[in-house]
Amino acid sequence: MKQKAKEFAEKAHQGQTRKSSNVPYITHPIRVAEKLEGAGFSDAVVCAGYLHDVVEDTTYEIEDIEAEFGSRVAELVAAHTEDKSKSWQERKQHTIDIVKHAEIDVKNLIVADKLDNLLGLEQDLDSQGEAVWRNFNAGVEQQKWYNSSIVENMLVGINPEDAPSYFAEYKDAVKRVFG
């Protein structure tokens, strides 16, 4: 099922590139899925890692995910999918609220995604400087608020010793990027 999810995501994101580069977009979901698999999560969570941006950024709907991968994968993807009709602030606040109150698998998926995004941003800042911020819908202060809020809420309801190591890696990356 994981290989099928990877292939589905590759097809869905074909031709898309990362925000600040010409790097194929699919590299991001692959890294997220690999992070989740490396942490020992279920096939459903790993598949959701591959598919987490499909509904948000392509023509596929959540029903397509459910038909191909079942209700559990669809639930995970749906929990992570932003409603693009809402403002940036509303979408990010919704994600923060989801992270705070979600079940552990959803938290794991979201933090793995946010970590990979932030590591990519950190590389772009190193290579391109502050001009990178022009590629975003929100400036550095809003991005700091968002990422810091994810850190503040990612461990709500779980024992910190049960969190995968990449939660700490994300917290450290937020400190490096935003001070």
Q: Mark whether 64 is an active-site residue.
A: no
In angstroms, rounded to a whole number, what is the distance separating the alpha carbons of residues 89 and 99?
15
Q: Mark whether 57 is an active-site residue.
A: yes
φ/ψ of 70, rounded to 5, equals: 95, 170
User: DSSP characters for 113-138?
Assistant: HHHHHHHHHHHHHHHHGGGGGGGSSS
Question: For the chain, where are the E strands, in sequence order?
Answer: none
Which two tokens mark 133?
């911020």
Q: Which of 10, 57, 68, 82 is catalytic?
A: 57
Q: Which of 56, 68, 122, 169 is catalytic?
A: 56
Residue where the block lists tokens 């790097």:
23
Q: Give which of 118, 103, 105 is closest to 151, Cα–Cα.
A: 118
Please give the positions annotated as active site.
56-57
